[in-house]
Structure 1
Amino acid sequence: MISPTGSSGRRAGVLIAAVALTGALTSGCGSAKDDSRPHAAGGATLTIPDRLLDGRFRNNHFVRGTADMSQDRQAKELGLDETTEVGGTFVDDHKQKLAVMGMYGRIAQPRKTLDALAETRQKDDRKDGVSRTPWTEFHPAGLGDAVLKCSTAKSRFTMGSTTVFSDTGDCVWADAHTAAVVHLAVEKEVPQDADSATGDPMSARQLATATGKIRQETRHSSDK
C-alpha cells in the first residue's frame, strides 16, 4: 500500500492520507510500488502523470504507484469496493507542493465516501488545533457526475529556530468509480531558506477549479 507517514507515525493509505497528507509532504517518508499502469476496475481508472495542471506541477517521485485495496477493511467501510489505490506528489517552481491520493473501482455511495474523507481530515485538524474553513461544495468544469468539497487551513509550527507558516487546501471528489484527495501546501519559513515556498496559496474555489482539471488529467473513462 502507498504509505506516506504523518507526524503521528500512522500508515496513510488514501483513506488515511486525508489525515496525514501534510506530514507526508514535509517529512519525506513514503514508499510505493513504482507502477503507473492502470488496472482495470469498474468503469474508470486513475493514473498519475509526470505533470499536472498543464505542466505547472512536476512529479517529484515522493510517492508514485498503485496498490490493490480490494481486501482493505477501511476501504470497504467507506463503500469502496474492489478498489485500487494510486498517488503522487508534485512540486512547482515556487516550491508549492501538491499531492493527489485516489482510488478507483466501485463506489456504492459517492456522497457518503466524500463526506467520510472530509470528516477524517477534520478530525485530525481538531486534534492538532488547525484552523480550517468549513467544507464547501463546488461544481467546477471537469467534475462530470462527481461530487466535490473543498476547504482551506492555516497552521504554524516551530522547528528549532525556524518558524513555518503553512497555508493548505484540500479538495475531495467522489463518483461511482473514483475518489481522490487533492492537497496543496504553501509553506513559508522564517527565516527563509531554499525550501521555503513563494507565491500565494489558492482559495478553496481556485483549488476546486484546479481539482476539476486534475480529475480530467488523471481519470480515464468513456463517461468523463
Structure 2
Amino acid sequence: MVIAVAAGVVALAVGAYFLIGGGGGSNVADDGAHKLITPATVLGEYKKSTKSNSSPEDKESLKAAEKEGVRNAKEVQADYEVKNEANPLAGKMLSFNGLYGEIDDPEKVVDSIFAFVKTKSKEGKSEDGTGELQGEPTAYNPPELGDAVLKCQQSKSKADPAAGTPAFTINFCVWADHSTLGIVVPLDMGSVLTGKGGSPEDAASLTAKLRKEVRVKA
C-alpha cells in the first residue's frame, strides 16, 4: 500500500504513510463511540483495491499508537484507487490504515505515530529507497474535520536509477479523536512521477473528508 510505500519511501511505519486540528488532545470533544469501516467506494471516485500494499511497518506503527493509548483496539485497512486506462498518469491511489477503540488523549496518540515514523526514517538507508522527512508534522483544521486532531508531513525520496524509480514526494496524514485513529497516504500518480506530490493542505482536506465517510457510530 502507499503506507507500505511510506515504509520504503518514508522509511516509515505505515508505508508511504504516516497531526492538530482542533486544539490540544484534551480539547477534542468526545462524541461517543465510533468505529471505522472500509466502503467499496469513498470520496465519490476511489474504488477499493483487491490487493493490499500493507507492510510490516504499517503494523508496527499501529502497534505504537495502540501502546500509547488506544484501548480495546480493532484494526482496519484498505487501499483505494482511481484508474484511468487511457492515461495511467492521471490515476490516483489512497492508502488507509486505522484503529478504533477508546482514546483518552488523541493528540498524544497522533504524536506517537509521527515519533515512530521519525525513528524509522533515521534508521533508513539511502540504498533502500527510503525518503527523507521534511520539517515537522504540521497541524491542519480543514472545515470537514470536526472534533479531531489532524497533522500531516511530507517525505521526499531520491531517484533510484537501478530500480527505475524517479525522485518523488509523498504526503502522509494522521487523525485521532476519542474513538478512532486514521493514517492516510494519498497519491496522485502524475504529481508523484513529476516529483511534486501535491500539497499537504490538500492531503489534509482529503483526509478530513475520508474520516467523515469511514467513521460511523458503533
TM-score (norm 2): 0.70
Question: C-alpha displacement at 1:73, in angstroms?
Answer: 6.8
Measured in 1, the distance between the counterparts of 2:195 and 2:120 equals 27
* 1:115 aligned residue: 111
Measured in 2, the distance between the counterparts of 1:150 and 1:161 equals 28
Opposite residue 214 of structure 2, the aligned amino acid is T
Aligned to 1:96, which of 92, 97, 109? 92
Aligned to 2:13, which of 13, 16, 19? 19
Question: Is the Cα contact below 8 Å between 1:132 and 1:152 reproduced in 2?
Answer: yes
* 2:36 aligned residue: 46
1:85 to 2:79 alignment: no
Measured in 2, the distance between the counterparts of 1:173 and 1:87 equals 15
* 1:29 aligned residue: none
Opposite residue 179 of structure 1, the aligned amino acid is L
Aligned to 2:204, which of 199, 205, 208? 208
Question: Is the Cα contact below 8 Å between 2:170 and 2:197 reproduced in 1?
Answer: yes
Question: C-alpha displacement at 1:58, in angstroms?
Answer: 1.8
Measured in 1, the distance between the counterparts of 2:195 and 2:213 equals 24
* Structure 1: gaps (5+ residues): 10-16, 24-41, 189-195
Query: What SS does structure 2 have at the residue aligned with 1:164?
Result: coil
- Relative to structure 1, the CA distance from residue 199 to residue 121 in structure 2 (aligned partners, 3 Å threshold; closer, same or farther) is closer
Larger fraction in helix:
2
Measured in 1, the distance between the counterparts of 2:204 and 2:147 equals 15
Query: What SS does structure 2 have at the residue aligned with 1:21?
Result: coil
Question: C-alpha displacement at 1:200, in angstroms?
Answer: 5.8
1:151 to 2:153 alignment: yes
* Structure 2: gaps (5+ residues): 18-31, 54-58, 84-89, 125-130
* 1:218 aligned residue: 214
Question: Is the Cα contact below 8 Å between 1:141 and 1:213 reproduced in 2?
Answer: no
Question: Is the Cα contact below 8 Å between 1:167 and 1:185 reproduced in 2?
Answer: no
Question: Is the Cα contact below 8 Å between 2:76 and 2:98 reproduced in 1?
Answer: yes
Question: Which fold has the larger relative contact order, with Cα–Cα distance below 8 Å and residues 6 or more apart in sequence?
Answer: 2
Question: C-alpha displacement at 1:123, in angstroms?
Answer: 2.0
Question: C-alpha displacement at 1:221, in angstroms?
Answer: 2.6
Opposite residue 208 of structure 1, the aligned amino acid is A
Q: Supply the RMSD in Å over aligned alpha carbons.
A: 3.5
Question: C-alpha displacement at 1:172, in angstroms?
Answer: 0.5
Question: C-alpha displacement at 1:159, in angstroms?
Answer: 5.5
The C-alpha deviation readout for 1:67-104, integer Å capped at 9, x for no partner, is: xx9xx974542101001100111222323321010011
* 1:171 aligned residue: 173
Measured in 2, the distance between the counterparts of 1:91 and 1:74 equals 27
Question: C-alpha displacement at 1:61, in angstroms?
Answer: 2.0
Query: What SS does structure 2 have at the residue aligned with 1:22?
Result: coil
TM-score (norm 1): 0.68
